[in-house]
Structure 1
């Protein structure tokens, strides 16, 4: 706590001269107004007792010095005006100060102290400095029980292409023969029961001014996956990792608009069919929301440019130069409206377009099988789940022509996405109050990949996955895929966001996602354990045990849309606490 003690002490000294002077002339004088003022300030919490004692001592010292100087300035034996008494050694000259003047001095001192106390935020006890009031801390903790149950008839040769690229290149031909031994495969048959998992997120927001805000959030996570911050417990009781989940600055030029740069939350109205609830976006976005005057309609929208991957051009042995690269981007735009039909019904609609730039794989120029790097290795995706159609990126040439069995002709490969992705996304939400405070929400979401071109994918893919062997195409195969995805969900309950004690809700829904309707790396990691080429239902319910403490029970059952059989059921029971 800071205050101008010198100025305050000087003011008190003046008051003490007024009050102490008579006390010197009259040893039995009652406590003066200055002492009463200080006591009043202590009682009101403006001053602490030790500070008050120090001020009185300092003020009395300055008052004594002022009296001494005044006495020395006058002659030892001065004769006043006619009829005035002659001052004698030891006498004190006391000038009469009216009560109104003393009250004025007291009020001025108190006003000065209070102004400074309020400005420095120490006027009231148990308060904090101004900067503390501009900091907000928020977060949540989740404890989850999970089981993953696989069908015994699932294919056991579904390749994990994300692991392929991360640990590749992978040998696909050895000594002239196909070589599947080092290919990574998904677990599709071994149940994972009784998994204990947890999630913790802690964020801090700083309201720097009326227009500027900054935020940062940390989160758990078993790895650097963009779609999940859930940590699987166990691992020998080892300590768990903490990741930078968000870091952003927001500028609000007007009440209806904001601009955010950095790593921030999803700025679009969407479902976890397209974007996981845990997904954050790296880049810059602008949002607006404005109610129309004298209308039940509120317009909203978002624009954004987000960096998916900054690639680098490694040295190419085939071209003897640094390979060309293209950074990968997501550009998005959304516009929507919220229409309050009446007091019981609200309709929300949003239309969005997302362009994923340079996300598709690029076939390399002819590259020797012995090359460590080929010129389009950069085009492999940084992260995948599973479901998208892929193809081999490298156009490999034999190092020893005419002898495929020579070890120098072993082929090591990466994979890339066969399709481009330009998405049309439509969301419709209807909220209605049924009776007795009970709400019903119906949500529909449709996504179509406008860039889907099966002929181009066939020419690229060459029979790696999502192959229809009963049709004729490149390499005697054809692609079995599709560009469409949709979801329907219904929620019923009292307080669907489960914030107040006693709130409850139940929900049920169905999803259908064709293999190349969207990139498989960014959607919900629970439904079909992530990715595309999935269809199935989900249902569950929740109850709020206390304010901001609630439980959820969820069951998800899914299977493939096309291709090799792959069915999985997921049970999740969890307790969440947010603050």
Structure 2
């Protein structure tokens, strides 16, 4: 039995008890006013209750006799000049105990019969833990088309696939095959895709909560929970999307650990809307009295990767721990002023520690070695756009140097320390509509072409232009350290009821090394960096908690070979 059903049952019981109380009060009051027929109002009321079945005939007859007796006593008294009842006076006649007991038992029997017929549950029959759980989730059904320009370069290496395999042999004498390549010219129309998420939040105590959520997804990548349909009608996967504990020691402070939703205020320019965070976060909010101003701050400690405890597998000497982290801090303010004006601003610093690639010590793979010292530094997940470098310093076979296989992995050439600025302004307009204008700017403070070239020891493999004098150098790295987004939204900013709608228009520009390409939106330019373009969309809520959304994203490369990708999505979303 749900909590709402139980509440309705309890309300019905209270109403029945109230009705019985009204009968008793009326039966005990001085309701002896008569109409033209000579019968008092009380007598008529009792007759009506008997006729409707609300009172059994036996109990009703007893009340009738008592009412008639009271009326008979009242008439002579009035005729003899008795003092008339004044407004507010109450007569309390005697009601036999047997009659009161019978009414009570009749009411109890009637209510219990109704409870049994409708499946009510008594309070002590509902487990306490069910009242502390809240189930929440959403379902999305999407039709998606990906449209590529015929002018796109047809040589777009899928470096992520290389990193998950045994590497790619870059020696043309021992490998004549091409590396795995991305699709860049053939459209993919009308792909049906779904997303489903189901979670439970438990109120464990006055200060502690816990949450668990499952979600769909094509793979265990961090930036998308979308699952492509088809596949021979095979069953779809479900992943552990969240698992967290939250503790609130004082009002305004929330400490959360485990795997949880994005703790920072951000747009999908930096962090995908589907991205969850591992580790620990401290969130604090502080309202400044009645001035309409409040402050907030977030500190996050997120482990991105741990190097294997057993690396290298075939060596008695194991490598020291090499761990990758994201440490972030953000502070901001909310200000409500004027005629429902809202302004929000935040500045953040995000330090991605130890995620840049390292050039390895010489490794003699030809002699049977199965690893190089920097293999750990390849990213666990990547999309596309960042400047990449070869990681392995492969020693040549002295007996046949020209034919030495050279299977390579790639890593990030740049380090990333991000300065992040977010702004949003909301204002009412007319007819209940509102306008929101927002902007997001990011600068990679650690971007340095000379350091990138030195780290790679010349082994840059992406975002490298043709050398002017035939000798490549750091000046030929075609990259940048800035990203920004601007968007305007008009309509009902939060869809709440059927008929609500909004529209939005925005522009993004993400230079190649402005931010790590692994964690941002996977839809615009199909994910990653080195992309710029416009996007627009609209949503319409056509039923409670159900809405239709359509969006168009047109993006192309910032630098390098042509890569124009348009994405159209039409979807129905439902939340519960």
Range of TM-score over shorter length: 0.7 to 0.9
1:502 and 2:499 are equivalent in the alignment? yes
For the Cα contact (< 8 Å) 2:463–2:560, is it kept in 1?
Answer: yes
- Equivalent positions of 1:135-154 (< 5 A) are 135-154=133-152
1:546 and 2:547 are equivalent in the alignment? no
1:455 and 2:450 are equivalent in the alignment? yes
1:188 and 2:184 are equivalent in the alignment? yes
Counterpart CA distance in 2 for 1:231 and 1:428 is 33
For the Cα contact (< 8 Å) 1:45–1:123, is it kept in 2?
Answer: no
1:111 matched residue in structure 2: none
**Structure 1 residues 415 and 122 mapped into 2: Cα distance closer, same or farther (>3 Å)?**
same
Partner of 2:401: helix, strand, or coil? coil
Work out the number of aligned pairs and report it.
475
Counterpart CA distance in 2 for 1:319 and 1:49 is 71
2:556 matched residue in structure 1: 559
2:347 matched residue in structure 1: 351
TM-score by length of 1: 0.78
2:419 matched residue in structure 1: 424
**Structure 1 residues 360 and 123 mapped into 2: Cα distance closer, same or farther (>3 Å)?**
closer
Offset at residue 171 of structure 1 (A)? 1.3
2:269 matched residue in structure 1: 273
1:433 to 428, 432, 435: 428
For the Cα contact (< 8 Å) 1:174–1:410, is it kept in 2?
Answer: no
1:527 matched residue in structure 2: 524
1:578 and 2:575 are equivalent in the alignment? yes
- Equivalent positions of 1:241-256 (< 5 A) are 241-256=237-252
**Structure 1 residues 327 and 463 mapped into 2: Cα distance closer, same or farther (>3 Å)?**
closer
For the Cα contact (< 8 Å) 1:552–1:574, is it kept in 2?
Answer: yes
1:312 and 2:308 are equivalent in the alignment? yes
Offset at residue 497 of structure 1 (A)? 2.4
Counterpart CA distance in 2 for 1:561 and 1:214 is 43
1:168 and 2:160 are equivalent in the alignment? no
Counterpart CA distance in 1 for 2:309 and 2:317 is 9
1:234 and 2:230 are equivalent in the alignment? yes
C-alpha RMSD over aligned residues: 2.6
Alignment gaps of 5+ in structure 2: 2-95
For the Cα contact (< 8 Å) 2:532–2:555, is it kept in 1?
Answer: yes
Indicate the larger mover: 36-45 or 384-393: 36-45
Counterpart CA distance in 1 for 2:97 and 2:440 is 83
For the Cα contact (< 8 Å) 2:212–2:243, is it kept in 1?
Answer: yes
Partner of 2:520: helix, strand, or coil? coil
Alignment gaps of 5+ in structure 1: 2-28, 51-116
2:329 matched residue in structure 1: 333
Offset at residue 555 of structure 1 (A)? 0.4
Indicate the larger mover: 465-474 or 532-541: 465-474
Counterpart CA distance in 2 for 1:560 and 1:337 is 35
TM-score by length of 2: 0.78
1:8 matched residue in structure 2: none
Deviations 1:193-222 (A, max 9, x none): 110111111111111112111011111111
1:204 and 2:204 are equivalent in the alignment? no
Stretches (4+) displaced over 6 A: 29-36, 46-50, 317-320
Offset at residue 344 of structure 1 (A)? 2.6
For the Cα contact (< 8 Å) 2:358–2:455, is it kept in 1?
Answer: no
